[in-house]
Amino acid sequence: MNPETAIILADGAFPEAEESLNILRTAGITICCDGAADALLKHGMTPDFIVGDLDSVSAETKARFRERLFHESEQETCDLAKCFRFAARNKIRITHLLGASGKREDHLLGNLAQFAEFSKLFPAMQLVTDYGFFAAVNVNAVFSNVPLGTQLSFFSFDPAQKISVSGVQYPLEERQLLWWYEATLNCSIEPDITVRCSSSTPLLVYFAASPSAGIVSQ
């Protein structure tokens, strides 16, 4: 167990890549979004907390883990947002979000937005998939120890925001990203990737790399 690792498991496709599963197996704290608790149990792991409106978790799991249930009935926000708020209230520093992709694309888009929004509270957090991971930049960041040739993409939530990126094959200089496809499929040519943004609106960076590659943000 890694006591410094606290994760949220969303109720998307359950991770299959060994790197993702290892994060789950060794997590110090696991917060499950509602029905994700059932999936975690089927894979031989136990939730520490189950948070959400609890409309998709099984009655059996509710009974077994009734002391670990945290019910929020309001429907203005999704279960993932409830998990983030729960972690913040209890001073749990989330390091990884898993299970956010797969099953439904609308959920993935919503989860990416929630990840970006709550990155201000959990700035070192990664959204991990079976193929790579997302990180969020709030104004400025330097990603160090990036393996040369790593594919990466940038996604801005604010078309007026000006983005500058160095250390990549196709650098950006105060570029406004009007559409999400405009800064995809770039490639690292230096071990340090510097990102500067003109506003504090989170910028998503996707690395087609293992979450254990040693990439760190400063």
CATH 3.40.50.10240 domain position(s) in the chain: 2-131, 135-210
Measured CA distances, 128 to 29, 75, 113 (Å)? 16, 26, 14
Check whether 24 has a pLDDT greater than 80: yes
Instruction: Give residue-wise pLDDT tens across range 65-78.
Output: 999 998 887 777 78
Q: What is the CATH number of domain 2-131?
A: 3.40.50.10240
pTM above 0.85, yes or no: yes
Of residues 55 and 183, which shows the higher confidence score? 183
Work out the mean pLDDT of the chain and round it to a whole number.
92
Q: What is the CATH number of domain 135-210?
A: 3.40.50.10240
Residue 1: its pLDDT value, please?
66
Residue 143: its pLDDT value, please?
94
